Amino acid sequence: MRAKVRILKVKTGGFTIFINPKDAQEWKIHPNDLIRIESGKRSVYGSAAISDFVGVGEVGLSEDILESHQFSEGEVVALSPAGTPESVRYIKKKMRGEKLRKVEIETIVKDIVDRKLRNTEISAFVTALEINGLDMDEIAALTIAMAETGDMLDIDRKPIMDVHSIGGVPGNKTNVIVVPIVAAAGLTIPKTSSRAITSAAGTADVVEVLTNVTLSLDEIKRIVEKIGACLVWGGALNLAPADDLTIHVERRLSLDPRGLMLASIMSKKYAIGSQYILIDIPTGKGVKVETMEEARSLAKDFIELGKRLGQYVEVAITYGGQPIGHTIGPALEAKEALETLMTGKGPGSLVEKAIGLAGILLEMGGVAPKGMGRKVAREILESGKAYQKMREIIEEQGGNPDIKPEDIPIGDKTYTIHAQSSGYVTAIDNKAITAIAREAGAPEDKGAGIMLHVKVGEKVKEGDPLFTIHAESEGKLDKAIVLARRLEPIKIEGMVLQVVGNL
Ligand SMILES: O=P(O)(O)OC[C@H]1O[C@H](OP(=O)(O)O)[C@H](O)[C@@H]1O
Ligand SMILES: Nc1ccnc(=O)[nH]1
């Protein structure tokens, strides 16, 4: 079947191919069928949408397709039903708990990248991995396939350091501070981050408040070779392109299966050419890893996977029992990170974690003596050198280096939850905090989130403010308030926990 291309000013969140109802009837094409269009050597797969948006003999392409594929108005293309990809059989094999062969994993990844597998099948794959997992052979195959189906970067400025958190803990803006400290010490650190997966703000979401995070590989190479660092969104690059497509599904399910997480992180590190990598595993109640035993097991897998990829990995198991710092949500976290860089001071949990991780990297990179890294990192932060480096990163990535915390817009629809009793904060529920921040609109609404007024261990009196919800719409604020009242994320207990008597 042949048709003329119509460029449609419509984004559908996926590769969508619009077909006129008369053609669909004649060509026996049904809504959501997988369709292949090709012209010469170029081809693309997409989901059929039957619509009068296009005339008979025309095929409409959504903007999503045109962001990565060159087709021109009026171009004649061949159109054919694509049928069910072979990789669906391999996904069902994993659903049955069977081990996948290297070639089967490679086929799944390629079909994800080629958009033959769509959110339905990707969701099934993510769920199968959550339930049945992957062994190290499968994880290594998945990692390499994810990296090799995309571009690889060769940065001349060596050694190349990297840091990456498995995430999961609210407010984890730590690496926004770690990266400038490490780069200010003269090391090279091309940091790529994903957007939020299970949290209310991924590092890419936070940095995007301060500067552009969507850059090309050539721009990244230029910037990193010039100033030693970047803070960019991995999904914008063709680095491990399957990663962002699976993360899009993971975010909807708020899932991050262990094997896929290992591959997701290490495929990006492998593609960008990192040689010395520090992995942060936040551990505690309400995050991805809840026990030290699990954390050590995951750490060993990261180190083993690194060995298979020719990368040196160290792992920091960090405290994840409550949010990092006082802010959750892209703009609120960007504001707190910028304040900390500018002043060299900030919330204890944030500063101590940042200089701890940065210290390890300085020692790994040979610019601080063993055991002195933390001290050197603190000096770099407190001297303002880290802030100066962050200004360079912001400017080189297309932002305003003079941005101030007060310039950052945060949600002006607010509501503060107060203490219903006096006592001590004994727990802050990470999952509840994230759920409330997301209900308020984060991370899509940059200004949405939560400002914490208390942390674990602090004394409160009845009526004291506990946290303030920020939203960009009244409707989302109202929903977040209802959820906050139901979940009560901050636990307050007096020294007398319970009176038992008159039994
Ligand atoms: O917390 P959740 O959303 O599950 O995990 C995603 C976050 O964890 C990693 O953090 P970093 O980039 O190493 O700072 C990712 O890049 C992303 O920002
Ligand atoms: N699954 C992931 C967790 C954290 N960071 C990533 O890039 N991917």
Q: How far is the CA of 345 from the centre of ligand 2 (A)?
A: 28
- The atom of ligand 2 lying closest to the CA of 256 is 1
pLDDT score for 88: 97
Is 102 annotated to bind ligand?
A: no
Per the residue annotation, which of 114, 256, 280, 301 is the catalytic one? 256
Q: Which residue has the tokens 């200089």?
A: 355
The conformational region for residue 313 under phi > 0 = left, psi -120 to 50 = alpha, else beta, is: beta
For residue 51, the CA-to-ligand 2 centroid distance in Å is: 38
Output the residue whose Cα is nearest ligand 2's atom 6. 265
Which residues form the pocket of ligand 2, taking CB atoms under 6 Å from any ligand atom?
A: 166-167, 194, 197, 256, 261, 264-265
| Ligand 1 proximity of 167 Cβ (cutoff 6 Å) | yes
CB 168 within 8 A of CB 203: no
What pLDDT is attached to residue 83?
84
Q: Is 491 annotated as a binding residue?
A: no
Is residue 198 part of an annotated ligand binding site? yes
Residue nearest to atom 3 of ligand 2 (CA): 166
Which mutation among 162, 163, 166 tests ligand 1's pocket best, with the greatest number of atoms within 8 A of CB?
166
| Ligand 2 atom at minimum distance from 264 CA | 8
256 catalytically annotated: yes
190 cis-preceded (ω within 30 degrees of 0):
no
- 317 CA to middle of ligand 1, Å? 15
Is 195 part of any known ligand binding site? Answer: yes
**Distance (Å, rounded) from C-alpha 168 to C-alpha 202?**
10
Using alpha carbons only, what angle is made at residue 131 by residues 130 and 134, rounded to the nearest 5 degrees? 70
| pLDDT value of residue 237 | 76
Query: How far, in Å, CA of 472 to CA of 242, rounded?
Result: 32
Q: In 3-state terms, what secondary structure has residue 264?
A: helix
Q: In what order do the strands lie in the sheet with 312-319?
A: 161-165, 276-283, 312-319
Q: Is 165 in the pocket of ligand 1 (CB under 6 A)?
A: yes
- Confirm whether residue 437 is marked as ligand binding: no
Q: Please give the domain boundaries of the chain with CATH numbers for all domains.
A: 2-81 (2.40.40.20), 86-133 (1.20.970.10), 161-235+271-405 (3.40.1030.10), 413-493 (3.90.1170.30)
Q: What confidence score (pLDDT) does residue 193 get?
A: 94
Ligand 1 atom 12 nearest Cα: 193
Judge if the beta carbon of residue 175 lies within 6 A of ligand 1.
yes
Closest ligand to Cα 266: 2
Where b means 16+ CB within 10 Å and e means fewer, 431-456 reads: bbbbbbbbbbbbbebbbbbbbbbbbe
Q: How many CA atoms lie within 13 A of 394 on its CB side?
A: 23
Could you give the CA distance from residue 341 to residue 32 in angstroms, rounded to a whole number? 49
Q: What is the pLDDT of residue 503?
A: 60
- Phi, psi angle pair for 162, to nearest 5°: -160, 155
Which of 339, 329, 347 is closest to 450 using CA atoms? 329
Q: What is the ipTM, given to two decimal places?
A: 0.97
Cβ neighbours of 39 (radius 10 Å) = 17
| Pairing assessment for the beta strands 423-428 and 459-460 based on DSSP bridges | antiparallel
Six-digit token string for 311: 């990368």
- Closest-approaching ligand to the CA atom of 172: 1
CA atoms of 408 and 412, how far apart (whole Å): 12
Among all bound ligands, the one having the nearest atom to the CA of 251 is: 1
For the whole model, what pTM was predicted? 0.92
Atom of ligand 2 nearest to the CA of 261: 1
Cα Rg of the chain, angstroms: 24
What is the Cβ-side half-sphere exposure of residue 329, based on CA atoms within 13 angstroms?
A: 31
Indicate which atom in ligand 1 lies nearest the CA of residue 280: 13
Q: What is the position in ligand 1's atom list of the atom closest to the CA of 197?
A: 3
Q: What is the mean pLDDT of each run of 10 residues along the chain (503 residues)?
A: 93 92 94 92 92 95 88 93 93 97 98 94 96 97 96 91 97 98 98 94 97 94 96 86 92 90 96 96 95 97 97 98 98 98 97 98 97 98 98 98 97 97 96 98 98 97 97 98 98 84 74
Residue 464 pLDDT? 97
